[in-house]
Amino acid sequence: MPDAAHRPDHLIVIADHTHGPHTTDSEDIFWWLPIIGPGASFLASVLARHARHADTTWSIDDLARTVGLGGSHSNLWQRLDRLERFELLTFVSTDVATIRIELPALRDNHLMRLPLSLAAAYRDLIKAA
């Protein structure tokens, strides 16, 4: 993640096609919602939807507005940082990032954050796959 003093005014987003059981730009993002939060979930979905078709260059201002953050660049960078922390987005350079098109399975430490009924439903889903 670029530090605050070196954050670019644009971001090039490239699809990362690493295999995973869930698709980022579908309802599957629901499973990650309690883990990364609604803002980061929506951001991941938007980035993946566009990157799936072609590398996409976003102005930081346009991206913040697209995901409902108005002109708040700091809130956008917080969500990008969260996606990176959970390994759904990777900064390749200051202004280039990859976004996972397919999400990894939730780990046990993620499942502990879910309500028991949702964690059980997730375990059943993964066993059936």
The model's pLDDT over 29-59, given as tens digits with 9 standing for 90+, comes to: 899 999 999 999 999 999 999 999 999 999 9
- Cβ–Cβ < 8 Å for 84, 75: no
Determine the residue type at 94: T
Q: How confident is the model at residue 2 (pLDDT cuts 50, 70, 90)?
A: low
Q: Which pLDDT does position 1 carry in this prediction? A: 62
